[in-house]
Structure 1
Amino acid sequence: MRILVAGAGRLGTQAAQVLGAADNDVTLLDRDDDRVAALRGRLPVRLEAGDACEPAVLESAGAHTADLVIAATGEDEDNLVISLLAKRQFHVARVVARVNDAENAWLFDHRWGVDAAVPAATPLVSLIEEATSASDTVALLRLSKAGVNVIETTITPRSRAAGRTLADLAVPHGTFVAAVVRDGQPTAPDPGLRLAAGDELLVLSHSATEGEIHAVFQ
């Protein structure tokens, strides 16, 4: 998912960090050059400096191709302008805006291009849920925060795991297959299940790296 987060305050930065770590294509935009400079190299996202209330800045940051825009600045007026531009000028499918002052909450609706409004005190997981409209994404984020790596891998005809059962594979300690998706349908990961090309595996581990997991299945 291509995501643009406007506002590199606490909430915007945390949202960008978590969404970026979940393998989304994230850009974090803020008007404060010093704040942007301080964050460079610390987040798995692109960082851009500029005023998100300016259409040219939004376009340069990728609003014209974004699937989701999160307006998370500390000013309600700015968040409304960003939302309206995102929806009306750039036709972004989903726009989420932070409400800093509860008295302004009534403004944050479709008239201003807002699909979901979240109070400033909203927990990060709740913000992500509103942003993505996907409870499964939230579940994965909670696992990530708990120190559990969620790794996806697909079996190909050349994979060493093709034709072997799950019981035949020596996975690292603390690792297990949570689900096998075959022909678009989830299959119970029974130890006797024989893997085939095209199978998609969801693997959970609190210790193994992505490279170690792929070494087992690929």
Structure 2
Amino acid sequence: MRIVVLGAGRVGESVAESLVSENNDITVIDPDPQRLRWLEERLDLRGVAGNGILPEVMERAGMRDADMLVACATRDETNLVACKIAHDRFGVPSTVARLRSSEFAEGDPLLGPEGFAVQHVICPEESIVGYIQKLIDYPEALQVLEFGRGRAHLVAVRVVPGSALADGSIADFRRRFPDAPMRVVAIYRKEAEVGCTADTRIRVGDEVFLLAEKGKLRDVLKAVHGGDQPVRRIMMAGGGNVGSRLAQRLSGQVEIKLIERDARRCEFLATQLPGEVLILQGDGTDEELQADENVARMDLFLALTSDDEDNILSSMLAKRLGARRVVSLINRRAYADLIQGSTIDIAISPAQTVIGELLAHVRRGDVVAVHSLRRGAAEALEGVARGDARTSRLVGRTIEQIETALPRGVQVGAIVRGEEPRMQVLMPTHDLVIETDDHLVLFIPSKRQVREVERMFQVSATFF
């Protein structure tokens, strides 16, 4: 696809990097020529310096031949105007806008063809809040992703001493916990993927990706970790867009202490957030402040400021002072790779949380959901099997036949069949036959394999 990306900031850079790795033709527009030169040297793309909402700049960027515009500049106004001009002046068929404001939602008439012509909305702040909400709902997980309209969940867990998975095989776990059905799709040991079969033995420290039905997920996590400790007390550092949205959503459900450095921001938060949220003016990296506010009693400490270094320091401090679990928001990918799984339990990359939303609009075939895993190295994909046994590579085939045809290491994690209220989540067995309109959830260990997997979901030209 020919894709124009407006904005070379952290989100724009991550979007461009992900799309370039899949052999798309990418052009990035940004006012900063030095930033563009740096991107051109590092990635196989073209940079165009200038104001991205000017038709002359869009013309130089090849907007007339573009299949998609991804507008992820800093300001909402810039992204809205860019989508409108791209649609009306250049006839770009698909437009995606990064919008921070909660006033704009996908499907709003104001974003329709007669309005700003935005087909899809991406809001990084809302994506992060939703991501953290799932970690609170399932506190023993490192990552929780939804598929099949929320009926199937892909979960990453780290195996700890005493876990039912530790020093046993996948088959052993299934025999011990028949009421906790799940499918292990990947195991990582010291950053290297381990072959995943029923006889594979799992060790302490392994990162395990498993798929389970939503209604059974809590039973699976209890079986894996030997218990379930709900989150009741949270301390968060940073009262920006992410912190305030999360506090608003969680108020009344858990006890919240929010630390914000800026006095004027504290005053604003006091007018916007419910009274049960305790707002503290101070520095999240202040050891005395954390100790005075009993961070040791916290089930979860969240570092959500815009400063990576502050987030890392405050999280490490909270962990040392006794917080049960710490999560840090990290913009720089190199930092996230370094600290994930160390003193800091979970590092969240804002850019990576939105990549999946974008990729679902770029994918070929009938792909309805995409999630980026392991900082973009791997992927989980949900596609729909269309056609019949004559026109489809999936329909009428068994799981054994399909996995033989898939690239090495790609695993079918679950099949979602039917519509509500009779929707079923099926764990794959070798003789299970795929039917028309089944949703298949697959784990893809390498992005290089994505195109081949997508072709499996494309029907032949004889299908109407």
TM-score bucket of the superposed structures, by smaller chain: 0.5 to 0.7
Q: 1:3 to 1:185 in 2, by over 3 A?
A: same
Superposed CA offset, 1:165-200 (max 9, x none): xxxxxxxxxxxxxxxxx9853166859x9xxxxxxx
Which residue in 2 is equivalent to 1:203?
407
Q: Is the 8 A contact 1:2 1:65 kept in 2?
A: yes
Q: Is the 8 A contact 2:8 2:35 kept in 1?
A: yes
TM-score normalised according to structure 1 size: 0.63
Q: How does 1:11-90 map to 2 (within 5 A)?
A: 11-90=11-90
Which residue in 2 is equivalent to 1:185?
392
Q: How does 1:69-218 map to 2 (within 5 A)?
A: 69-103=69-103, 108-110=111-113, 111-121=115-125, 122=127, 123-129=353-359, 131-132=361-362, 136=367, 139=370, 142=373, 145-146=376-377, 185-186=392-393, 190=401, 203-204=407-408
Q: What is the deviation of 1:145?
A: 3.0
Q: What is the deviation of 1:100?
A: 2.5
Structure ranking higher on relative contact order (CA contacts 8 Å, 6+ apart): 1
Q: 1:102 to 1:141 in 2, by over 3 A?
A: closer
Q: Is the 8 A contact 2:372 2:378 kept in 1?
A: no
Which residue in 1 is equivalent to 2:9?
9
Whichever residue aligns with residue 100 of structure 1, its letter is: R
Q: 1:57 to 1:13 in 2, by over 3 A?
A: same
Q: 1:60 to 1:42 in 2, by over 3 A?
A: same
Q: Is the 8 A contact 2:84 2:118 kept in 1?
A: yes
Q: What is the deviation of 1:113?
A: 1.2
Q: Is the 8 A contact 1:27 1:46 kept in 2?
A: yes
Task: Find the aligned partners of 2:71 and 2:77 in 1 and give their Cα distance.
Answer: 11
Which residue in 2 is equivalent to 1:198?
none
Structure 1 segments unaligned to the other structure (5+ residues): 149-181, 194-200, 211-218
Structure 2 segments unaligned to the other structure (5+ residues): 128-352, 380-388, 410-444, 450-464
Task: Find the aligned partners of 2:122 and 2:371 in 1 and give their Cα distance.
Answer: 21
Task: Find the aligned partners of 2:9 and 2:49 in 1 and give their Cα distance.
Answer: 13
Task: Find the aligned partners of 2:89 and 2:123 in 1 and give their Cα distance.
Answer: 25
RMSD after superposition: 3.3
TM-score normalised according to structure 2 size: 0.32
Whichever residue aligns with residue 93 of structure 2, its letter is: A
SS of residue paired to 1:126: helix
Task: Find the aligned partners of 1:146 and 1:17 in 2 and give their Cα distance.
Answer: 12
Q: Is the 8 A contact 1:30 1:51 kept in 2?
A: yes
Identical positions, percent? 29
State the number of aligned residues: 168
Q: 1:103 to 1:22 in 2, by over 3 A?
A: same
Q: Is the 8 A contact 2:6 2:28 kept in 1?
A: yes
Q: Is the 8 A contact 1:14 1:124 kept in 2?
A: no
Q: 1:55 to 1:126 in 2, by over 3 A?
A: same
SS of residue paired to 2:42: coil
